[in-house]
Chains A and B, each alone.
Chain A
Amino acid sequence: MYSFDMESPSTVADAAKALGQDEAQALGGGQTLIPTLKQRLASPSVLVSLAGIAEMKGVCTADDGSLAIGGGTTHATVAAEAGAYAALAALAGNIGDPAVRNRGTIGGSLANNDPSACYPSAALGSGATIVTNKREIAADDYFQGMFATALDEGEIITEVRFPVPEKASYMKFEQPASRFALVGVFVAKYADGVRVAVTGASEEGVYRWSEAEAALSANFSADAVPAAPSGDGMISDLHASGDYRAHLVGVMTKRAVAAAS
């Protein structure tokens, strides 16, 4: 990797200040950024580690009943402590491998918005609120395509609030090499309707499958899941064609509905 300076602030305010420097880059758990640096594909002048900010860590139930997770909370911690939202804890517990789960953070994953990552589907599928050091962003406004989000330069995800649904489940069909989601579907049933978020499949990144949401809101059963979507606009690569991914969207949605609890 190229040389860089490193700062490890202990408050969100200090981190925000540090990120104001030229070519500064926030470092969460580093599960994407460190390999990128090692391959010399990024050359920040300053890395600002968010790992030492205590106020960004932990899982708790907020006053409104939603589950609040600090942006610097690792996947392993969410898996262990988000029992109030079992489907979310299960999702976190099946990201990558133990080393990834002990380093990677929810804020880092959402800020990166990898089109095959698991967390974006949970955030979008739950209608979560992304809380930053500047504002609150609804998940529906947050995800803006592959690796693109509503975050401004230097903006830090401090917390993510998940409304806890009546029932939910995440079904991931793994890409065999990376074990990222080849297709992952997060289904959550709320009093006011069902949300279905799909990751891994679309060239536009995570998205809501509105036809399935409408059908499942009327009848929450696997049989109600509509025919698989079209393969147009789906990712087509070494591992799967767009058509196959589209087929899996249907299968994984059915399975998620069947497994929702």
Chain B
Amino acid sequence: MPKDQGIGASTKRREDVRFLTGAGNYTDDINVHGQAYVHFLRSDVAHGTINGINTSAAEGMPGVVRIFTGADFEGVGGLPCGWQVTDKNGEPMQEPAHPVLAQGKVRHVGDPIAAVVADSLEEARNAAEAIELDITELDPVVDMKAAVAGGAKVHDDLSSNLCYDWQFGSETEAVEKAFAEAAHVTTLELVNQRMVANPMEPRVAVGDYSRANDESTLYTTSQNPHVIRLLMGAFVLGIPEHKLRVVAPDVGGGFGTKIFHYAEEAFCTFAAKACNRAVKWTASRSEAFMSDAHGRDHVTTIKLALDKDNNFTAVHTDTYANMGAYLSTFAPSVPTWLHGTLMAGNYKTPNVQVNVKAVFTTTVPVDAYRGAGRPEATFQLERVIDKAARELGLDPIALRRQNFVTQFPYATPVAVEYDTGDYHATMDKMEELIDVKGFAARRAESEKRGKLRGLGINCFIEACGIAPSNLVGQLGARAGLYDAATVRVNATGSISVMVGAHSHGQGHETAFPQVVAEMLGIDENMIDIVHGDSSKIPFGMGTYGSRSIAVCGSAMVRATEKIINKAKKIASHLLEASEADIELKDGQFSVAGTDKSVAWGDVTLAAYVPHNYPLEDIEPGLEETAFYDPANFTYPAGAYACEVEVDPDTGAVDLVAFVSADDFGNVINPMIVEGQVHGGIAQGIGQALLENCAYDENGQLLSASYMDYAMPRADDLPNMANYRVDHSCQTPCTHNPLGVKGCGEAGAIGSPPTVINAIVDALQSGGHKVDHIDMPATPQRVWEAMNG
């Protein structure tokens, strides 16, 4: 019998009532009295020297408040990078300046050159058209390998276009020895294409300034308001924390791209003070394509060594990772610490070495996108394993099973220690869900209809619950990655929980109260969370890396434990019993072994009306804060499978079934978890089959709108009967109090290689000797693969 409340209950998402009835309060819904509007004049060339910007005609146009250029930001800080990677020679990465508005050069299509603040958006746009630009075009830098080979430099003050050359994992000598002694080596070259995150809500920023108290407020579409306050206040604009408030209200999806601190946020905050007037910016979808940080964009060669018994003995990778024109906030960490550390996958491979060259190009900056480094690691590893199985004539499931890690904790050769897992269990579940045994019959049926059917399987592991601060500090993070929660119990027993995590679609407003309700034994509707406003919540690091419930939820548990401890003291006073004998169950404090009890509400009232209260021992009130810094990452893992039918006449791929068997540890709200996995898989299918952020050789963005950038739609997915997500395999995390691992990214990590493995399997069944198809596997690519 499923519970209807608390941990494990599929409580319907309370926030959906406002989202689905048009009552949400998104940043663009926020209007400040007297606000002006900003339009950014952006570069339409990939690379150029700014010789001059003449704004004199534009300044005289109707409604113009003020026009800003890079010159207005001289002496103001640039956008900071939050992670410093050290290269294989022990040198820090090359770190270019990232001005709010371009200074001296433009470095990608969309780079902001000038900003027009006007009474209306149309007037700002009109004036922007009257700005005269004198720009000398320079050679674009698009191809990563060419960029490091020489030619034009993106940043003239750096020695080259190479940000860093990073090496990680097993010693070279050991790896070379393993390959030399291998019975079989499989090599695969592949591309993990550039993606645009495309949250439904484009980015918005509203800067406000109060002369009365010298306070700045930024309303912004962010996943982490405190991170923005820290970065923008301390590094860009020099505003102390107590004079800067950052509010991220309802946010319509983030997928990573709303983690980062953007120029438009700093600009609106800066301009509001400079103009003494609120300044609002709402990205058009076109602007989103050319200014939101992109994702992925890796070019990789991976090699897998196997011994004569088909045990994996070594993995070696060589990756070029595109950084784009500037270092976005966490960009350097994605191809390194979020990617290299996962390259062991689910396997006990003794030697794993990862090499990454991060490269500057004249393209939009690239940073974390749902999964961030882990999808790239999984894709290459699972593709090369599939290829090895085919080359050796082995069952791809059996080859994986043979090499699974089975003993936990397990220390990988790439610096992380998996605390718990059961990869055979998720594989068993996946085989059951997809009905592996029945595949041959289904393939035969497809062939009768002239279609090639393929079965793709895939395993993955990810590192979530980001992250232990002391560890990431050693790895170059310039921030801690704990989180915080304040549990404020009100006099009548209702509760507000102020959390550092930020919900932009994840359902925190429903799931977090379920935890507190479970601990206290009270109705979850007595509990609300407060999030997204730096003036209301404790200093927390926001939401990304599937960290919210694992890290912030753990802080909330710790704070609630403090509440329980104090409430028991109060109850023991009211019940005239020893504190050690007080038990809390179903919202009642009782004295063990007696029928004496006092209700939750009586205790909370006593805390705020302390007439009969042990004031000599404890303070009145009932409010506690806890910060929680995780001891380790969490390691969700799973096994996925899908079946495709390929139309041999056109190369079109029909995804007919997709199943996932995930291990997320304990689960707070199964319905929300399943929704997260459904969405993640859809996003991964989008990468596998449809989405492609393409530049031409001139650095022009070809896929700059939905006319050319294909997002997955409902009819691209299998029907619900054949789209099954399961999380019944649960090995709880051993080091956080809830035993949770996080589920936000799994679907996007696990699904792309599953789909490609299936397509290759389908083509092989038709006699086509196809080893690999790069994503997206468009009909043309599949057809060309079939036709040589």
Asked whether B298 is an interface residue with its Cβ less than 8 Å from the other chain, the reply is: no
A251 and B650 form a contact (CB under 8 A): yes
Q: Out of A176, A247, A248, A251, name the residue touching B778 (CB < 8 Å).
A: A176
Q: Out of A39, A178, A240, A251, name the residue touching B780 (CB < 8 Å).
A: A240
A177 and B709 form a contact (CB under 8 A): yes
B438 to chain A, nearest CB (A): 30
* Chain A residues within an 8 Å CB radius of B709: 177
Whether A238 contacts B125 in the complex (CB less than 8 A), given A176-B778, A244-B780, A247-B783, comes out as no
Q: Out of A39, A177, A239, A244, name the residue touching B783 (CB < 8 Å).
A: A244
A239 and B650 form a contact (CB under 8 A): no
Asked whether B649 is an interface residue with its Cβ less than 8 Å from the other chain, the reply is: yes
* Chain B, range 595-651, C-beta contacts under 8 Å to A: 649-650
Q: Mark B465-490, 1 if CB is under 8 A from A, else 0.
A: 00000000000000000000000000
Q: Mark A244-255, 1 if CB is under 8 A from B, else 0.
A: 100110010000
Asked whether B494 is an interface residue with its Cβ less than 8 Å from the other chain, the reply is: no
How many angstroms from the CA of A247 to the CA of B651 in the assembled complex? 11
Asked whether B432 is an interface residue with its Cβ less than 8 Å from the other chain, the reply is: no
User: Residue among B690, B710, B711 with the most chain A CB within 10 A?
Assistant: B710
Stretch at the interface among B559-567, B661-669, B700-708, B726-734: B700-708
A183 to chain B, nearest CB (A): 10
How many angstroms from the CA of A238 to the CA of B700 in the assembled complex? 12
* Chain B residues within an 8 Å CB radius of A241: 780
Q: Out of B690, B694, B783, B784, name the residue touching A238 (CB < 8 Å).
A: B694
B703 and A238 form a contact (CB under 8 A): yes
How many angstroms from the CA of A241 to the CA of B703 in the assembled complex? 16
* Chain B, range 698-754, C-beta contacts under 8 Å to A: 702-703, 706-711
B125 and A40 form a contact (CB under 8 A): yes
Q: Out of B650, B690, B692, B711, name the residue touching A248 (CB < 8 Å).
A: B650
* Chain B residues within an 8 Å CB radius of A39: 286
* Chain B, range 80-124, C-beta contacts under 8 Å to A: none
How many angstroms from the CA of A173 to the CA of B651 in the assembled complex? 11
B703 to chain A, nearest CB (A): 6
B649 and A238 form a contact (CB under 8 A): no
A173 and B710 form a contact (CB under 8 A): no
A176 and B710 form a contact (CB under 8 A): yes
A residues contacting the other copy or chain, number (CB 8 A): 14
B508 to chain A, nearest CB (A): 32
A244 and B710 form a contact (CB under 8 A): no
* Chain B residues within an 8 Å CB radius of A248: 650
* Chain A residues within an 8 Å CB radius of B783: 244, 247
* Chain B residues within an 8 Å CB radius of A40: 125, 129
* Chain A residues within an 8 Å CB radius of B652: 173
A177 and B707 form a contact (CB under 8 A): yes
Whether A177 contacts B650 in the complex (CB less than 8 A), given A238-B694, A239-B780, A244-B780, comes out as no
Whether A177 contacts B780 in the complex (CB less than 8 A), given A248-B650, A251-B650, comes out as no
B566 to chain A, nearest CB (A): 56
How many angstroms from the CA of A40 to the CA of B784 in the assembled complex? 39
How many angstroms from the CA of A40 to the CA of B652 in the assembled complex? 36
How many angstroms from the CA of A206 to the CA of B710 in the assembled complex? 24
* Chain A, range 166-189, C-beta contacts under 8 Å to B: 173, 176-178
A253 to chain B, nearest CB (A): 12
* Chain B residues within an 8 Å CB radius of A178: 706-708
B708 and A238 form a contact (CB under 8 A): yes
Closest to A245 in B: B780
Closest to A97 in B: B713
A94 to chain B, nearest CB (A): 12
* Chain A, range 37-91, C-beta contacts under 8 Å to B: 39-40
Q: Out of B286, B706, B778, name the residue touching A239 (CB < 8 Å).
A: B778
B710 and A177 form a contact (CB under 8 A): yes
* Chain B residues within an 8 Å CB radius of A173: 650, 652, 779
Q: Out of B286, B649, B708, B784, name the residue touching A177 (CB < 8 Å).
A: B708
How many angstroms from the CA of A177 to the CA of B709 in the assembled complex? 5
* Chain B residues within an 8 Å CB radius of A239: 708, 778, 780
How many angstroms from the CA of A238 to the CA of B703 in the assembled complex? 8
How many angstroms from the CA of A244 to the CA of B783 in the assembled complex? 8
Whether A244 contacts B784 in the complex (CB less than 8 A), given A177-B706, A239-B708, comes out as yes
* Chain B residues within an 8 Å CB radius of A247: 783
Closest to B709 in A: A177
* Chain A, range 13-43, C-beta contacts under 8 Å to B: 39-40
B124 to chain A, nearest CB (A): 13
How many angstroms from the CA of A161 to the CA of B679 in the assembled complex? 46
Closest to B784 in A: A244
* Chain A residues within an 8 Å CB radius of B778: 176, 239-240
Whether A176 contacts B650 in the complex (CB less than 8 A), given A239-B778, A244-B784, A247-B783, comes out as no
How many angstroms from the CA of A173 to the CA of B779 in the assembled complex? 10
B352 to chain A, nearest CB (A): 36
Whether A176 contacts B780 in the complex (CB less than 8 A), given A238-B703, A238-B708, A251-B649, comes out as no
B310 to chain A, nearest CB (A): 38
Q: Mark B661-690, 1 if CB is under 8 A from A, else 0.
A: 000000000000000000000000000011
Q: Mark B122-137, 1 if CB is under 8 A from A, else 0.
A: 0001000100000000
User: Residue among B286, B711, B780 with the most chain A CB within 10 A?
Assistant: B780
How many angstroms from the CA of A244 to the CA of B689 in the assembled complex? 17
How many angstroms from the CA of A248 to the CA of B286 in the assembled complex? 31
How many angstroms from the CA of A246 to the CA of B22 in the assembled complex? 47
How many angstroms from the CA of A238 to the CA of B652 in the assembled complex? 16
How many angstroms from the CA of A49 to the CA of B382 in the assembled complex? 56
A238 and B707 form a contact (CB under 8 A): no
B764 to chain A, nearest CB (A): 22
A238 and B702 form a contact (CB under 8 A): yes
* Chain A residues within an 8 Å CB radius of B286: 39
How many angstroms from the CA of A239 to the CA of B702 in the assembled complex? 10
B706 and A176 form a contact (CB under 8 A): no
Closest to B651 in A: A244
* Chain A residues within an 8 Å CB radius of B650: 173, 248, 251
Q: Mark A226-259, 1 if CB is under 8 A from B, else 0.
A: 0000000000001111001001100100000000
* Chain A residues within an 8 Å CB radius of B692: 238
* Chain A residues within an 8 Å CB radius of B649: 251
* Chain B residues within an 8 Å CB radius of A238: 692, 694, 702-703, 708
Closest to B689 in A: A176
User: Residue among A39, A40, A239, A241 with the most chain B CB within 10 A?
Assistant: A239
* Chain A residues within an 8 Å CB radius of B129: 40
* Chain B residues within an 8 Å CB radius of A176: 689-690, 710, 778
Closest to B716 in A: A176
User: Residue among B125, B286, B689, B779 with the most chain A CB within 10 A?
Assistant: B779
How many angstroms from the CA of A251 to the CA of B710 in the assembled complex? 23
How many angstroms from the CA of A241 to the CA of B780 in the assembled complex? 8
* Chain A residues within an 8 Å CB radius of B689: 176
How many angstroms from the CA of A39 to the CA of B694 in the assembled complex? 21
How many angstroms from the CA of A238 to the CA of B707 in the assembled complex? 11
How many angstroms from the CA of A240 to the CA of B706 in the assembled complex? 16
* Chain A residues within an 8 Å CB radius of B690: 176-177
A36 to chain B, nearest CB (A): 12
Which are the 7 A-B pairs with shortest beta-carbon distances? A177-B710, A176-B710, A178-B707, A244-B780, A251-B649, A238-B702, A240-B780
Chosen A-B contacts, 17 in total, with CB atoms closer than 8 Å, are A39-B286, A40-B125, A176-B689, A177-B690, A177-B703, A177-B706, A177-B710, A238-B708, A239-B708, A239-B778, A239-B780, A240-B779, A240-B780, A244-B779, A244-B784, A251-B649, A251-B650
Known: A238-B702, A239-B778. 11 other contacts (CB 8 A): A39-B286, A40-B129, A173-B779, A177-B707, A178-B707, A238-B692, A240-B780, A244-B780, A244-B783, A248-B650, A251-B650
